[in-house]
Structure 1
Amino acid sequence: METSAATQPANGTVHPPEPRTLAQTTAFHAEHRPDTPAVICEGRTLTYADLHRESDRVAHALRAAGLVPGDRVAYLGKESEHYYEILFGCAKSGTVLVPVNWRLTAPEVSHILGDSGTRLLFLEDEFAPIVEGMATAPPETVVRLSDIEARKAEHTSVQTEFEATPDTPFAQLYTSGTTGLPKGVVLAHRSFFAIRDALASEGLDWIDWRPGDIALVGIPGFHIGGLWWATQNFNAGTTVVAMRAFAARRAVDLIRDLGITTACVVPAMLRMMLTEPGITAKDFATLRKTVYGGSPISEALLEESLAVLDCEFAQIYGLTETGNTAVCLPPAAHVPGGSLMQAAGHPYPGVRAKVIDGEGRELPPGAVGEVCLHTPARMIEYWGLPDKTAETLVDGWIHTGDAGYVDVDGYVFIRDRIKDAILVAGENVYPAEIENVLEGHPGVAEAVVVGAPDERWGEYVHAFIVPDPEQQPTPRDLHTYLVPQLASFKLPARYEFIDHVPRNPSGKILRRELRDRFWNDSARKVN
């Protein structure tokens, strides 16, 4: 269902018909709502006219620097108006945005820049030491954000002469894998329009965007949730309030002081806001809808959030590989004590979910197996990894690696993970990566990492260590060794020394045996 700006649905939901790619978004809104604030960040405001003009200048500068459609452009910095200028500048020039997690270490950043073949890096000054600390050479062109205005001014007349299609690659986000090396998930423009169109096609307001909405983006832009939520609001012509980094007190202040109406958060952010001293329901009075996802949420936290925030809630479930959300638990299903409160949600119109066994056969409702999702927002590929792509994307179906079931009404329930990922505050952490680094310590003979439940972060990283017979490292020794090599959210919170690693007769590590003792009292083996 497409509507024009003059014929919006009765409920006020915004579904602009014109933009079909992010390259068209700012031009459309610069024409229809030029003076509407597009981005607010730390007191600075860009209107849609500003965002269109400045992203044009970025696009011209990229082409003047010799970049051509398909070239990778990385961004290493926190959220700001510059990030969104660069985002749309990439869309307009046909280059592919590679947002880099600013919490990563020099070796991790080096891998992403090298694997993606990044030709130009936009670098916030704060993170220059990371690039300087890389063992490999930086990309051929590095542009400091402190110099970006001067660089844009040099090339105002250069033409981009590029027209994106819905299938044109737009972004490459890195997500870790069981091999320990992050994989580049390539997403097309359609990934950022498909779910909006699916909702509009059925007139559903599970997630909606209305005139005058002011949206909080608390999830960082290197995460698919943050990138997706921001682009949905830009596509709808609403106002995005960008946080350079999430801080609970600051988030509450922004909601109250700016009259924020919608927000997208991970459960850990909800918990942190609710535990801030002095917080009351009045602080959230302007909120009409909260979208949450990134990790499962406890019923206790959800019920407290419903009571205090007193607004509609929508849960989203998906992966970077599905272009973010593929399944939604709509507001009407958020009934305290209701049977659906533990569901991940229902597929959107045009999205299908199925559960398969180890042989690939589809299972009946209620049977637990691997959850697979078929969505028009799905990834194009893992960059440079055709074999890995073929394992995950099969006949249009994304194999999630999550274990769960689909009930008779089509609701998806997640019960465990087939893959070994640990979810720390919505961030995927993979044991193999940490184990590989740990086993480089001279005092570690073997290491096994699992996720254990944590009330604040969802899960924490628990490391089992078989020490070398000649020396016994302390937790402090291991922590000190890991700090320069791994991002802080990947660091084990606890170390446990054991005599041997349990294995089956074929020599495979019995990871589940180590992990399950932390989860014996939990109905779900994710938190």
Structure 2
Amino acid sequence: METSTASPPANGRVHHPGLRTLVQTTRFHAEHRPDTAAVICEGRTLTYDALHRGSNRVAHALRAAGLGEGDRVAYLGKESEHYYEILFGCAKSGTVLVPVNWRLTAPEVSHILQDSGTRLLFLEDEFTQVVEGMPTAPPETVVRLSAFGTWRAEHADSEAEFEATSDTPVAQLYTSGTTGLPKGVVLAHRSFFAIRDALASEGLDWIDWRAGDIALIGIPGFHVGGLWWATQNFNAGTTVVAMRAFAARRAVDLIRDLGITTACVVPAMLRMMLTEPGVSAEDFTTLRKTVYGGSPIAEALLEESLAVLECEFAQIYGLTETGNTAVCLPPAAHVPGGPLMQAAGHPYPGVRSKVIDEQGRELPPGAVGEVCLHTPARMVEYWGLPDKTAETLVDGWIHTGDAGYVDEDGYVFIRDRIKDAVLVAGENVYPAEIENVLEAHPGVAEAVVVGAPDERWGEYVHAFVVPVSGHEPSPRDLHTFLVPRLAAFKLPARYEFIDRVPRNPSGKILRRELRDRFWNDSARKVN
């Protein structure tokens, strides 16, 4: 039996250190809080006892289908309580869950299923045509989610025999693949426990879980942020509210009507909720903490969110390769106008950061280079790509590909993706800095900056701007606004107004989609 020691009642925080794998999680909570709601989705509720027994059945069914330790099981469907039964069922059978982005096209889905070697696919009926349109054959076994209940009901709800270790692979998530083919990031059970333990070891409440919490998952489960946030709440024994797909109005209604206390979102979701007609601070009165990450946030949006939601905010930074968050900007640092509002955050206890130059030499505080992170939650590997793994995971350090610096106090500041830096007359210009200032203009809803070829300067700064409806500023207005706020070499040479910013399903800007049109006729993508 797993043992647990909860935090003192004075602060209400809970931590169950005896839980080390997802195999143990539902077993423990089914014994100690069987009737507590584990998942609420579309009005349906699954208790911890039901989640435990249902996932036991899934584990037995997978084994009966001939799948064993290390075999890949894919899920192509929107969020549901079944997704979490399958997650824990995979953990209990030793198989590895491969969540598939349901917004992908047939060739993209085909790549993931082929690359992972998926043997069994759970398929929502809505995406049947996607699978039928793949250029390759589907996996040997396809279980439709419409028949999921019948499929698992044929098997016992007794404990499965497999017992994982912290290093046993449990999930394989595919990177968004804005360039090249997506890579499968293999994560072990430890990726979903290490940060929880790090926070508890120092008594930190940067991100915390309390008895009675009801947590909203705004980020989809095929994204590491959504999967990580769900598992953290399951490990704590709280209630997860899952949306089939994020919709701003629905999210606001759920927060208000279900008394949601914590939420995990990307900045774009905050923006959408705040711009919903009729939304006010009264809709968020039960929220005590909002965790956000996945992409940079404009200071103007963050300050508005702090003012309207009136709860604690914690920013998380990391990659799928780091097992999600490795750095956190704690609530105490969220002071409007404060010096840390542009920081990604500080590494958790037991997590280290460094910044290196192109030769791999560590740089001093304040110098911009590639950010590297050393975390116990890091990935096992890129599936089937040992060379790529060796490039990214070096002596335990994840090379993020992000440009940034570390200050004297250890706070990490991200300036951009290294490959997205614009080189203007020999000066590195980081788009995120310009975008942050542009979005402070009252007439700018969103902005994306890219580098375009320039015969004289090498590259020039091109700004794509989504104007606030009915308040479209002119290029001259924007230039006048930026002049006192940015060095001359950082100022956009051209502005282009667009209706929306292209993003992937995780909310990340598809910068390459905007940039590539300037470089399509160039042999090299730099100038």
Equivalent residue, structure 1, for 2:23: 23
Equivalent residue, structure 2, for 1:442: none
> What is the Cα deviation at residue 17 of structure 1?
2.3
Is contact 2:178-2:512 (8 Å) kept? Answer: no
Q: Cα distance 1:227–1:35, how it changes in 2: closer, same or farther (>3 A)?
A: same
Root-mean-square deviation (CA, aligned residues, Å) is 2.8
> What is the Cα deviation at residue 496 of structure 1?
9.2
Q: TM-score, normalised by structure 2?
A: 0.82
Equivalent residue, structure 2, for 1:301: 301
CA distance in 2 between partners of 1:488 and 1:16 (Å):
33
Equivalent residue, structure 1, for 2:91: 91
CA deviations 1:354-376 (Å, max 9, x no partner) are: 00000000000000000000000
Q: Cα distance 1:496–1:408, how it changes in 2: closer, same or farther (>3 A)?
A: closer
CA distance in 2 between partners of 1:227 and 1:92 (Å):
17
Q: Cα distance 1:6–1:21, how it changes in 2: closer, same or farther (>3 A)?
A: closer
CA distance in 1 between partners of 2:226 and 2:292 (Å):
11
User: Residues 88-487 of structure 1: matches in 2 within 5 Å?
Assistant: 88-156=88-156, 160-177=160-177, 180-420=180-420
CA deviations 1:338-386 (Å, max 9, x no partner) are: 0000000000000000000000000000000000000000000000000
Name the aligned partner's letter for residue 162 of structure 2.
Answer: F
> What is the Cα deviation at residue 160 of structure 1?
3.7
Name the aligned partner's letter for residue 118 of structure 2.
Answer: T
CA distance in 2 between partners of 1:380 and 1:452 (Å):
38
Name the aligned partner's letter for residue 85 of structure 2.
Answer: E
CA distance in 2 between partners of 1:163 and 1:364 (Å):
45
In structure 1, the residue corresponding to 2:45 is in which secondary structure?
strand
> What is the Cα deviation at residue 244 of structure 1?
0.3
CA distance in 2 between partners of 1:377 and 1:496 (Å):
34
> What is the Cα deviation at residue 193 of structure 1?
0.3
Equivalent residue, structure 2, for 1:471: none
Q: Cα distance 1:350–1:491, how it changes in 2: closer, same or farther (>3 A)?
A: closer
Name the aligned partner's letter for residue 185 of structure 2.
Answer: V
CA deviations 1:8-50 (Å, max 9, x no partner) are: 4631111012210001100000011111100000100001001
CA distance in 2 between partners of 1:276 and 1:294 (Å):
21
Is contact 1:61-1:155 (8 Å) kept? Answer: yes
Name the aligned partner's letter for residue 362 of structure 1.
Answer: E
Equivalent residue, structure 1, for 2:43: 43
CA distance in 2 between partners of 1:41 and 1:280 (Å):
24
Q: Cα distance 1:451–1:159, how it changes in 2: closer, same or farther (>3 A)?
A: farther
Q: Cα distance 1:496–1:181, how it changes in 2: closer, same or farther (>3 A)?
A: closer
Q: Cα distance 1:55–1:495, how it changes in 2: closer, same or farther (>3 A)?
A: same
CA distance in 1 between partners of 2:27 and 2:231 (Å):
14
Number of residue equivalences: 455
Is contact 1:99-1:173 (8 Å) kept? Answer: yes
Name the aligned partner's letter for residue 75 of structure 1.
Answer: Y
In structure 2, the residue corresponding to 1:257 is in which secondary structure?
helix
Name the aligned partner's letter for residue 100 of structure 1.
Answer: V
Name the aligned partner's letter for residue 312 of structure 2.
Answer: E
CA distance in 1 between partners of 2:467 and 2:62 (Å):
42
CA deviations 1:367-423 (Å, max 9, x no partner) are: 000000000000000000000000000000000000000000000001121135999
CA distance in 2 between partners of 1:157 and 1:373 (Å):
41
Q: Cα distance 1:285–1:61, how it changes in 2: closer, same or farther (>3 A)?
A: same
CA distance in 1 between partners of 2:302 and 2:508 (Å):
27
CA distance in 1 between partners of 2:373 and 2:118 (Å):
30
CA distance in 2 between partners of 1:47 and 1:157 (Å):
15
In structure 2, the residue corresponding to 1:327 is in which secondary structure?
strand
CA distance in 2 between partners of 1:489 and 1:144 (Å):
32
Name the aligned partner's letter for residue 524 of structure 2.
Answer: K
* More divergent stretch after superposition (333-342 vs 413-422): 413-422
In structure 1, the residue corresponding to 2:419 is in which secondary structure?
coil
Is contact 1:268-1:456 (8 Å) kept? Answer: no
Is contact 1:18-1:28 (8 Å) kept? Answer: no
Name the aligned partner's letter for residue 402 of structure 1.
Answer: D
Is contact 2:42-2:243 (8 Å) kept? Answer: yes
In structure 2, the residue corresponding to 1:112 is in which secondary structure?
helix
Is contact 2:3-2:18 (8 Å) kept? Answer: no
CA deviations 1:459-487 (Å, max 9, x no partner) are: xxxxxxxxxxxxxxxxxxxxxxxxxxxx9
CA distance in 1 between partners of 2:53 and 2:239 (Å):
17
Name the aligned partner's letter for residue 21 of structure 1.
Answer: T
CA distance in 2 between partners of 1:180 and 1:497 (Å):
17
Name the aligned partner's letter for residue 416 of structure 1.
Answer: D
> What is the Cα deviation at residue 165 of structure 1?
0.2
Name the aligned partner's letter for residue 222 of structure 1.
Answer: F
Name the aligned partner's letter for residue 165 of structure 1.
Answer: T
Q: Cα distance 1:3–1:205, how it changes in 2: closer, same or farther (>3 A)?
A: farther
1:62 maps onto 2:62 in alignment:
yes
Is contact 1:501-1:509 (8 Å) kept? Answer: no
In structure 2, the residue corresponding to 1:419 is in which secondary structure?
helix
Is contact 2:56-2:157 (8 Å) kept? Answer: no
Structure 2 segments unaligned to the other structure (5+ residues):
422-430, 433-449, 451-460, 469-506
CA distance in 2 between partners of 1:92 and 1:352 (Å):
32
> What is the Cα deviation at residue 498 of structure 1?
6.3
Is contact 1:63-1:160 (8 Å) kept? Answer: no
> What is the Cα deviation at residue 149 of structure 1?
1.0
Q: Percent identity?
A: 83
Q: Cα distance 1:341–1:84, how it changes in 2: closer, same or farther (>3 A)?
A: same
CA distance in 2 between partners of 1:159 and 1:488 (Å):
40
CA distance in 1 between partners of 2:139 and 2:356 (Å):
43
CA distance in 1 between partners of 2:227 and 2:365 (Å):
33
CA distance in 2 between partners of 1:456 and 1:58 (Å):
49
